Structure 1
Amino acid sequence: MKKIIALIAVSILSLGIFAGCQKAATPAETPAETPAETPGEVSDGTLLLAEAQTAENSGRFPYVWVNRGGIVNLMMYRSLFLADPTLTKVEPDLAESFKLSDDGLTLTVVMKDGLKWSDGEALTAEDVKFSIATNLKASQSSGIYTNAFSNIKGAKAWKEGAADLEGVKVDGKTITITLDAVTGNLVNVLGQFVILPKHKLENANPLEIHNDAFWKSPVTSGMYKVGEVVENNYYTLVPSENYEGTAPKIQKIQVNFINDLVAAAQAGKSDFITTNVSGQISEYNKIKSFKQYPVDILFYRYLVANIKDTEGKVNEKISDKRVREAILYAVDRKTLAESLYPELAALSNTGVPSGLGTYLKGAEDYAYNPEKAKELLKEAGFDFNQTLKIRYYYNDQTSIDFMDAVAFYLNEVGIKTDVMAFQNDATTELYKTKDYDFALKGLSAFGYEEWYGEYKSTQANFKNILGGDTTFDALINKLVATADPAERASILQDLQKLEQENLFKVPFFNLKQMIYVNNDKVVIPAGVEFGNPWYNYDMQFENWTVK
């Protein structure tokens, strides 16, 4: 144990990670004793953002059907509806109005008049139908979309080659969506779903739409359009003259690709930051111009188990649930949370945070017990001569230290490990290449439907590592179908029981998120609240100004 404490002590010097249950943020003052930093650059009215260059964003803009949020996506794209900061209420956005039938099976949406894409083409109801239909066939999509859209009438037939998606009809500027089963969060999901331009993507292969050339310079529907692009250096966003809403006051957003995000902030090259990296947080707190906004969200950090492929071939090393259970007992999660993520991490045992009323009473808490881990491994007939491949895609130092600590703990109970970072983009490595036994993953969830939706047999990505297991399907369908709090609480109890019985995902922490704004340069109107930064909500950005 002394070795791991020493390792943790070293890692504290370069912390990193953090997040955790949907609540709008209130300002938190930067500590008064923090030292002054290098003053920022003189403003020319441009909002400066910094982004780390990765294989996934090299030479292209983000693909929005996997990750909806981020300030850039919020400014570039729109959905039928716009959520409030709590993500629980929506108002029409591209839509003019909407009505859900009494039986919950028919949603009628009327589009606004005069909508245009940034290239001047009309944005119509046909774009909505195209987007929903294409998403159903896309190989990469957030589970909140696939779970909801799979309930559209004729969705299965459409995915299998039918000529049309029966449950989505267009009549002028009216879209009618007919469901086979009640989908309680459909309107909220459509408030997150980006509508894409049919005239630019109708010939794209849905299975490869995330790699389409469109993402090099996308046509937009939001208040900003793409300005200048200097590949691998920076790009700008400028107001779109075809946006029918209130024009934004900020005339340019510049996003610079910078390897050291902390150094960028210290040098005044980044005015708005969202992070769950505790090492960054400790440095951002020292910058006097930054105001801190803590945000409670559903953010999970966990290991995904590569149990079997879509053909049903089983990964014999970890197919026995007792092996996966042993991982949890072998790792002192409490010590890691307190040492690496102080005041940021809460231990996670199920998809429901333990502090909430819907948490499963009597749930196994997987308290640190290396002897029990050894017993479980022996009971499972685990071959201690084999090596578990454990991979991760986070590149902050705390995540690296965390993975080293996990390897140490596993080695202490006799498990040999090969721990490495993924060499290519995370989505490909996780769901296509799949050369791992366990992989560290994060999920900023829109709701419980997303966490539990990863277990569903039809989930676009997870079916590739869980083999299309149908164990959770019925309960997930029930959860998706209702918005009644009492009924949802009951379903969540059953889902948590099933989750612990199967342990397809190995939970570690729920984490918080921090937002920082350069208060010396950016003026945010009173009353603005921040929500989950990875989702679409009203930031009232049109009223922001830059000094």
Structure 2
Amino acid sequence: MKSKNGKWMISGVLIMCIALLLAGCGGSNPVTTGGKTAKDELVIYIGYGMTSGGYDPCTGYGIYGDGIFHSALLKFNAKIEVEPDLAVNYTISDDGLTYTYTLRDDVKFSDGQSLTADDVAFTYMTAKASGSSVDLTMLEKAEAKDNTTVVFTLNKKWSAFVSTTALLGIVPKHAYGQGYGDNPIGTGPFKVAQLDKEQQLIVVPNDYYYGTKPSFKKITILNLDEEAALAAAKSGNLDVVMVNPEYAYEEVSGMTMESIKTVDNRGFNLPTIPERSDANGNVIGNNVTSDYAVRKALNIGINRKTIIQNALNGIGFPAYGRVDALPWNNTPEFEDGRVEEAKALLEEAGWIDTDGDGIREKDGIKAEFKITGRTDDLQRYNLAVALSEDAKKLGINLMAEAVAWADCKALTRNIPTCWGSGDYNPIDLYNAHYSKMIGVGTSNPASYSNPKVDEYIEKALAATSMEEAIEYWKLSQWDGETGTSVDYPFLWIVNIDHTYFVRDGLSLGEQRIHPHGHGVPVIANMNEWTFEHN
């Protein structure tokens, strides 16, 4: 049974509905080879993202590195290091303003037409003009010098441009236009066979793909309610099922739970300036978190493992910095749960419980403030509640509320909110910590400013190699004396594991550490999935 909006509903005829849907797309049919049963088709559920259409890299599709229809100039390997993909090599000029990429000469789009440098230049200039989530404000122009050479000219030094070239998929100049996002032509391992928006996406191999060929002739991605997806898995109708932490300990016959490590972190910004009004009359700053002692006490005094257990069913591992487990991380892991040390720090700073109500105060200000989680994200609200409960032992009262995401973002420079981040581009550190980003959209929500950190960030952006840039990104977090890892503009809590039930015998290949966004990242290497015989 379908609702009026076209989504499958949970009902007594759920499995019949799914069976009908699968019948319409050919199902997940076993084939016999050499006396052994294997599968040449899969049916999977990875959340809602992949059935909405809009597979256009120029407007942001695949920018977290999980696109399956397009490939990029470079790619990230399992160690999150860049390596060749459509480009065989690249060079950066001494002044850091010119990037030259040499392309492979054997690549074709899924319609059989050859990839050229014109397509690359067209993609970048189109993405720049779109003003979308692909940040190309630093790009002055992209030009094809010949069929296999493309030259990018930047208007400022921006070493993170290399990471962008490992994330932005290339579109064909000859086939790009209205409706492209729902029926893309690309150079990636798959192409769209059928899209029924908000219901299902069917993909098949791109016969012209130059890399590892997919083992399956058809993969159907369904859009289901998570409970419905779990029910379908228990009935044997799905091969991969994304589940959130509240369902991770369910039992599903014939399937095994796979827990994939991530840099999909969650934490709260801690405004570093006292409360005041900005030029537009908005309240910014926070009179409690602006005290360094409070920010440090929270970071060292809470018990992250306890919070993760209470909020996320124990699914995840403690986060201490913004980019844990990425090559440019330099936030030393430290021991938390240091309650007595945190209390002593607060006492020394003048935060004392004078009236015996369990809440410290200083200069007439109570050590209490609101924190928010999104109304449409149970995990973030649960984290806010669990953090609030854990912070009580420190004499700090955090009042957790569920608030619409638009309001969370609008108020965050005054009221800390639960942020999620984690991608393969170190520019995330610039957006979060560079002082000139204060007040630019939702960047730098802690209003954090440290001249030495700014200096390191500027040097990182001016670098002419990834290796040099990474060293400065690391110094911005900790140089032995100062940095974001000891100034505590954020209270990072968890890197959430991404959990999936996987059909026994199905191998998901070597998964990179997942970026932000549970669900879709698992298919980034779907062309490497195989069904193994017992």
Give the TM bin, normalised by the shorter chain: 0.5 to 0.7
Counterpart for residue 388 of structure 1: 370
How many Å apart are 1:405 and its aligned residue? 2.7
Q: Are 1:50 and 2:45 an aligned pair?
A: yes
Residue 113 to residue 523, structure 1, CA distance change in 2 (3 Å): same
1:450 partner amino acid = D
**Aligned mates of 1:336, 1:486 — CA distance in 2:** 32
| Structure 2 residue aligned with 1:335 | 306
- The answer to whether the Cα contact below 8 Å between 2:44 and 2:221 also exists between their aligned partners in 1 is yes
1:113-158 deviations in whole A, cap 9, x for unaligned? 46554466664423423443455566553xxx74xx56x5xx4xxx
Alpha-carbon separation, structure 2, partners of 1:136 and 1:470: 31
Looking at structure 1, the residues matched to 55 and 279 of structure 2 have their Cα atoms a distance apart, in angstroms, of 31
Question: What is the CA deviation profile of residues 356-386 of structure 1, one whole-angstrom value per residue up to 9, with x for unaligned ones?
Answer: 99755697958445793992874476478x9
For 1:491-524, what per-residue CA distance to the aligned partner results, in whole angstroms no more than 9, with x for missing partners? 431499332565443322234445553234x366
Which residue of the partner structure matches residue 143 of structure 2? 169
Q: What are the ranges of 5 or more consecutive residues in structure 2 without an aligned counterpart?
A: 1-26, 31-38, 353-359, 516-520
Match of 2:484 in 1: 499
Report the CA distance shift for 1:505/1:539 in structure 2 as closer, same or farther (over 3 A): same
Question: 2: CA distance between counterparts of 1:470 and 1:67?
Answer: 34
Q: From the superposition, tell whether residues 418 and 200 of structure 1 become closer, same or farther in structure 2 (CA, over 3 Å).
A: farther
SS at match of 1:446: coil
Return the match for 1:351 from 322, 342, 351: 322
Query: Percent same amino acid among aligned pairs?
Result: 15
Q: Secondary structure at the match of 2:308?
A: helix
Matched with 1:22 is none
Cα distance in 2 for residues equivalent to 1:316 and 1:476 = 24
TM-score, with length taken from structure 2: 0.67
Structure-1 separation of matches of 2:77 and 2:196: 34
User: 1:263: Cα distance to partner?
Assistant: 2.9
Q: Distance in 2 between matches of 1:380 and 1:346?
A: 37
Are 2:442 and 1:462 aligned?
Answer: yes
Determine the structure 1 residue equivalent to 2:527. Answer: 541
The match for 1:263 among 209, 222, 231 is 231
Give the corresponding residue for 2:240.
272
Displacement, 1:175? 0.7
User: Per chain length, whose mean CA-contact separation is higher, i.e. which structure has more relative contact order (CA < 8 Å, sep 6+)?
Assistant: 1
Residue 375 of structure 1: SS of its match in structure 2? coil
Q: Secondary structure at the match of 2:483?
A: helix
For the Cα contact (< 8 Å) 1:293–1:515, is it kept in 2?
A: yes
- Look up the match of 1:91: 84
Cα distance in 2 for partners of 1:365, 1:122 equals: 55
User: Alpha-carbon deviations, 1:135-184, whole Å to 9, x = none?
Assistant: 5566553xxx74xx56x5xx4xxxxxxxxx24x33213211234577665
Instruction: Note the C-alpha offset of 1:250.
Output: 1.4
- The residue aligned with 1:237 is 203
Q: Is the 8 A contact 1:140 1:461 kept in 2?
A: no
- The answer to whether the Cα contact below 8 Å between 1:127 and 1:196 also exists between their aligned partners in 2 is yes
Q: Given residue 194 of structure 2, which amino acid in structure 1 is its aligned partner? A: E
CA, structure 1 residues 103+406, in 2 after alignment: closer, same or farther (shift >3 Å)?
Answer: same
Q: Decide whether the 8 Å contact of 1:329 with 1:370 is kept in 2.
A: no
Change (3 A) 1:382 1:236: farther
The aligned residue for residue 5 of structure 1 is: none
SS in 2 for 1:438: coil
Decide which of 85, 102, 105 is 1:110's aligned counterpart.
102
Residues 52-78 of structure 1 deviation map (CA, whole Å, 9 limit, x = unaligned): 34xx7774346767673789x442221
Q: Is the 8 A contact 1:81 1:91 kept in 2?
A: yes
Residues 399 and 361 (structure 1), Cα distance of their counterparts in 2 relative to 1, 3 Å cut: closer
Match of residue 165, structure 2, among 153, 165, 190: 190
Residue among 438, 441, 444 paired with 2:422: 444
Find out whether 1:475 has 2:442 as its counterpart: no
Task: Give the 3-state SS of the residue equivalent to 1:321 in structure 2.
Answer: coil
Q: Where do 5+ consecutive residues of structure 1 fail to align?
A: 1-39, 156-164, 204-212
Describe the shift of the 1:429–1:233 C-alpha distance in structure 2 as closer, same or farther (beyond 3 A): farther
Letter of the 2:291 partner, please give it.
Answer: R
Match of 1:159 in 2: none
How much does 1:79 deviate?
0.8
| RMSD after superposition | 4.9
SS of the residue aligned with 1:192?
A: coil
Is the CA contact (8 Å cut-off) linking 1:310 and 1:464 kept in structure 2?
no
Q: Over alpha carbons, which structure has the higher Rg?
A: 2
